[in-house]
Structures are given as structure tokens and as C-alpha cells.
Amino acid sequence: MIRISTIFIAICMVLVAASLGLVLYSVAGISGTESAIVALTALTFLILYNAVSMRLRDRSDVGGQIADLSRGTADLARQVAEFGRRLAAVESRIAASNSTNSDRIQSVIGEINELGGLVRQLATTVAAHEDLLAGHAPAPAPAPVTRPEPETPIDLAAPFEERPLAPPPLPQPPPRPAPPTVQVQAAPPVQTANGRNQTQLLATLRNAVDENRIDIFLQPMVTLPQRKVRFYEAVTRLRDERDQLIAAEEFISIAEASGLIGRIDNMVMLRCVQVLRRLMVRNKDVGVFCNVAASTLGNSTTFAQCLDFLEANRALAPSLVLEFKQSTFRNLGPAETENLAALAQRGFRFSIDHVTDLRIEPRELADRGVRFIKVPAALLLDPKQASASDIHPSDLSDLLGRFGIDLIAERIEGERAVVDLLDYDVRFGQGFLFAPPRPLRPEGASATGGASPNQAQDIQGSNGSATPSSGATSSAPPPQRITGNAALARRI
């Protein structure tokens, strides 16, 4: 668009030329034609002068802008060169660091593979020795009465890596004649519900809850094949009036029917938080699995109390894992789903146990906050599961890992099962092979203090279900120094 100043200048030039022609015509007496020619000549001269002056002014302005642009381009070129130099230095450092890290990683991977091979060889050798001893053992001869390993209470104040774990069984020499053994009185077994009716068991359960006679046993979960303790499962035990232990599988159904399961779960959560705080004093990476009943999740009043308590201990959410049955997740109602989402929003992770089949939807479980699935070792190693499930058991660990879920093999009772599970890439294990559930050592007790010989060994189950076991007590000789493959396994 033409600027207003240009239009004004053009009008002024026309007026000046017309005024000059009029002056010449009226004053100088020149004819109209001559005065018009003079006026046009003057207008032409003014137009040329204006055009030349504007071109010179524009040229000077453009020259200044070009000079500024040249200076800016030079500065930009210097900055780009400086950035290029710095980027080249950073790339050289990263390349050197990657080369160094790659060498270190390769050396570590080689050592880990070598250790894994040694552990597998050890487990295979021990399993072969067990089979050999089982084949050569005389059938009719009665086995001598031996003293079972006592349940050493777990010392939460001891260093995390030094807590006692059941080492792999040592190969035993062939049986040979031994002097007669002295029979002693057997330890009393864990009290079961066989001698009680439901009314008596319900009364015992009410008294135990009112008098706070709910005990917590801990069973470790270890990494495979290193067998380092990574988590603990809190196993619930009930003490009656005579301080005899009642396993959870014996009273859990009655507790759910009578409505006491909510109070029991509240007490167990409180104990788990206390235990977890003691464990985290020594190691921040430890975790505790706490069983929660389905009726607690569906009861609004009970769940509100649990949620308030967990909200107050939200800082422990990464280390406190809430465990539910597989049937609970498959039968979630609207209330249970909402309560489960409330726990997940507060950062708590979930685990699934009591798995009866391998028809698992990992994406759905991961969306609900499940991070662990515990499958019995016998179910994983069952050949029938390959045809009954949508995925082969050997690929289950990899499938769950894609969605951030860890597979834990539970109820491991033999070295041969460990060898087979390592082929399935199972990274965590739990069972009597590593350690049975043990009671907590009182705070401040000696790390080498023994346990009472009549403390029962319990097998995990519903809320830590158990199978009673008993044995004879006898004076045990001092522990011998472990050598050979067994010592290697303990060091690993």
C-alpha cells in the first residue's frame, strides 16, 4: 500500500508546479501553453528528485540492516561451532564410558552365568545323591529317631544377608551300623481342629482375638539361584488357652463365618507394619507379604478401618504387599473393585496366591495393581498344564515380566524342583527347602539364642496355611564345618 506521506509529497509537487505555471502566466506575461510546459517540466524535475532521494535513503537503510544481519550470522556461526565442539567432547566421553561399562557388564554376566552353572551342578548332584540314598536305604529297617532342626526365631536385628536360611541338603554317607539310640519323648504336635467342634473352636477364636493371642510367623522368599532373602510372608498362627498353636487353615473359615476375620486382619496388618519397620532399619529393599481375606475387602466398615491404618503408614507402601487369593480376584464385585482401586491409588502393591490353574490375564491384573503371583511348584512343573492353559508354564515368567509382574514359585520341597524351575526362568522361590515359617525373635534377644524345642513347624497356606509336624528331641552335636559343594552353595 502507498504510504500517506508519499501521497502528501505528490500533492505538494503538483501544487508547486501549478503555482509556478500560474505565476509565469500572470506576472511574466507568458502564454498559457508555455506556462503549462514550464509547470510540467518543474513537476517532472520534482518527481525525479523525490525518486532519487527516496532510493538513496532506502539503500542506506538496507545497507545498515545487511550489516546487522551479517554480524548476527557471524555470532550464530561462532555459537554453533562452540556447541559442535562441546557435543563432540560429550560424545567421546559417552563412547569411552559405554565401552568401559560394556566390558564390566560382560565380565559380571560371565561371573553370574558361571555361578548359575555351579549352582545347577550342585543341585543336580545333591538330587542324585538323594535318589541314590533312597534307592539303597533298607525298607524294613526302622529309621533311627533323629532330632528335627528346631525353629530358630528370626532375628530382625541381624544383618539382612546373615539371617539363617536352610542350606541345600548335604549328601549323606550310606547307612552303617550305629549304636542303639535312646528314645526320648516326642515334642507335642500343633493343636488341630480334629479334637474340637466348631463351637469350641469359635469360643477359642473369640478368646484369642480378645486377648491378643494372634502370632506372626515369617517365611522367607529367596532369589533363585542365589537364595538370598528378598521378601517375607507373614503367616498367622492362633494360640489357645494352653499356648498350643492353631494353623490358619483350621480357623479361617470359622472366622469368616463369624465376622471375626476383619479384626484378625487388622491385627495382622498392625503386626506386619511393626515387623516391616524393624526390618527396614537394616535393609530398605526388604518386603513383607500380608494376607487379606476377601470378606475384609468387601466389608465397608472393616475396610474403612484398614484403609485409615494403611493411609497412616503410606510411606511403607512400596514394601508392604497385600496378598489375596486367586478366587478373590476372579469374583470381584463393584465394592471390592472400588476398594482395591483405593489401595492401588495409595501406592500399595498386590500379590495373588492359592493359584489353582494357569489361566491368567496379566494385563488385567497389572492394571489392578498386581505385582506378584505365587504359583505352587508342583503346578508349574505339571505336564498337564501345558495343554490346559493358554501358555506353556516355561513361558509364564517371561509373559508376566512384560507387564511388571514377578512369578514366585511356592511350596518348594526338593532340589530337583529347583533345577526344573531354573529352566523356567523363575526368579523367586518359597518353601520348606529354604526355611519353614519361624516365630519372631523378641526385640533385644541374642542373635544366637535358641528356640523352644516344641515350637511347631508350619507349612504356608491360607493366610499362611499349615500342616502339623512333630519329631523327637535329642541332644545335637556341635555343627560341623561345611565343605565342598555345600560350602559353595552357602557362599552363593
Whole-model pTM: value is: 0.56
Question: With 0-12 CB in 10 A as exposed, 13-18 as middle and 19+ as buried, what is 357?
Answer: exposed
- What SS3 class is residue 438? strand
Q: Which pLDDT tens digit goes with each residue over 12-53?
A: 888 888 888 888 888 877 888 888 888 889 889 989 988 888
Instruction: Give pLDDT, residue 350.
Output: 95
In the predicted model, what is the mean pLDDT of residues 290-300?
91
Confidence of residue 138 (pLDDT cuts 50, 70, 90): low
Instruction: Give pLDDT, residue 152.
Output: 60
Average pLDDT, the chain: 78
Instruction: Give pLDDT, residue 134.
Output: 81
Q: How many CA atoms lie within 13 A of 118 on its CB side?
A: 16
| Phi, psi (deg, nearest 5) at residue 370 | -75, 130
Helix orientation angle between 484-491 and 32-136, rounded to the nearest 10 degrees: 150
Percent of the chain with pLDDT over 90: 33
- What SS3 class is residue 206? helix
In the predicted model, what is the mean pLDDT of residues 361-374?
93
d(CA 62, CA 215): 91
Q: Look at residue 469 and tell me whether its pLDDT is greater than 60.
A: no
Instruction: Give pLDDT, residue 153.
Output: 67
In the predicted model, what is the mean pLDDT of residues 87-95?
89
Q: Which pLDDT tens digit goes with each residue over 207-254?
A: 888 888 888 999 999 999 899 999 999 999 988 888 888 888 888 888
In the predicted model, what is the mean pLDDT of residues 189-201?
62
d(CA 385, CA 390): 9
Higher-scoring residue by pLDDT: 435, 190: 435
